[in-house]
Amino acid sequence: MIKNALISLFSFGLVVCANARTPMPPAASVAETAPAPIIDLSPAPFERAEFVRDTAARFNLDPAMIEATLNRAQFRDSIVSAMSRPAEQVKPWYEYRPIFITQARIDGGRLFLSRHRAKLERVQRETGVPAEVIVSIIGVETSYGANTGRYPVLDALYTLAFRYPRSGDPAKLEREIRRERFFRDELAQLFALANEEKLDIHQLTGSYAGAMGMGQFMPSSYRQFAVDGDGDGRRDLFGNLDDVFASIANYFLKKGGWAPGQPVVARADLMPGYQEFNPDDWQPTYTMMDLAVRGYYLIETAPASITATPISLEGRNGKQYWFGFQNYYAITRYNNSKMYAMAVHQLSQAIAGQAIPPA
């Protein structure tokens, strides 16, 4: 799995959301954070021969097979264009949430949950990850499996691995090189994955960034976190619901540290005269006392010994303050965005029949 430090540079971690791009941080906040270490400012050269040699050695694969497979891969302008689209302006929460949480998506989630209740409840019993959270992720990522992506995964990763788009902005070059290397690693992982799971690499489709299946797993996450839910000896995230549900739950457990039975968030407020506290990440490292000293207090109840991260959202009727706990952090490991995580949580509540607060 790629390092956390690397993930934070991307607009996605495990997955690329199929339905809404993760808003980029405003330029001001980017400028205020410490610059990442400089790795190489020259454009990455076309290094296909090296890639074939290294991937074959790394995963004990036949270099001729990799070469032959790459010979059938295509650079696609549509993938470059999709990746080059300027990041949408950061939407306030009250505009962001309606993109994710619609009545149709809530209804779709309830239907999906009722259809697959037995499988989902088994995974919930075994992992402690609630069925409605698994369903919510599948709803947000792929509209309950209806839109898992039509791009050939090989072409997507090949294009981004060797022709990751360059904006021409010198300030963005280092990040573009890092992303190209990320995709080159994912392409290598795709070869390993196809070998391990006996997948036909030419048949795989996914998002323009190479995320696959109902939960939109990148190849490295598929290899690391997918599990065989039905015990047939294969991990099939494309068509096997037992495998899909168990794998999403396993990702939450192993990558996100899901804490069974713990809350995700609780509503809070900030006393007048105190400054908002916005940490750089969503690690729930602050005790209730730490946050009280900064002027925050809980409106809802939470376990006394729990630790949290403060969250601020632009609500239609003004600022909303929340405490995000370990399980909120776990959702951000799926997509490193505070609004994504809150939307997934609230959609899961709505699917479970609970009332959700106004955006």
Q: How far is the CB of 226 from Ca ion (least distance, A)?
A: 9
Take residue 6 and report the two structure tokens written for it.
């690397």
Backbone angles phi, psi at 206, to 5 degrees: -170, -160
Residue type, 165: P
Task: Identify which of residues 152 and 229 has a Cβ nearer to Ca ion in the complex.
Answer: 229
Task: Identify which of residues 174 and 197 has a Cβ nearer to Ca ion in the complex.
Answer: 197
**Of residues 340, 342, 328, 337, the one with CA closest to residue 283:** 328
Q: How far is the CB of 240 from Ca ion (least distance, A)?
A: 5
Take residue 155 and report the two structure tokens written for it.
């072409």
DSSP 206: E
Task: Identify which of residues 230 and 314 has a Cβ nearer to Ca ion in the complex.
Answer: 230
Q: Is 121 left (phi over 0), alpha (psi -120 to 50) or beta?
A: alpha
Report CA-CA distances (Å) from 88 to 32, 56, 91, 92: 20, 39, 8, 12
Please tell me the count of residues contacting Ca ion according to CB under 5 A: 5
Task: Identify which of residues 228 and 290 has a Cβ nearer to Ca ion in the complex.
Answer: 228
Query: What SS3 class is residue 174?
Result: helix
Question: Mask: binding to Ca ion, 221-250, rule CB under 5 A, as x and -?
Answer: -------x-x-x-x--------x-------
Q: How far is the CB of 246 from Ca ion (least distance, A)?
A: 8
Q: How far is the CB of 227 from Ca ion (least distance, A)?
A: 8
Q: How far is the CB of 187 from Ca ion (least distance, A)?
A: 25
Cβ-based neighbour number of residue 21 at 10 Å:
16
Helices within the chain (DSSP H only) = 4-7, 27-32, 48-59, 63-71, 77-84, 93-100, 103-115, 117-127, 131-142, 153-162, 170-197, 219-225, 241-254, 288-293, 326-332, 338-351
254 binds Ca ion (CB under 5 A): no
Task: Identify which of residues 95 and 230 has a Cβ nearer to Ca ion in the complex.
Answer: 230
Q: How far is the CB of 230 from Ca ion (least distance, A)?
A: 5
Q: How far is the CB of 225 from Ca ion (least distance, A)?
A: 14
Residues that bind Ca ion (CB under 5 A): 228, 230, 232, 234, 243
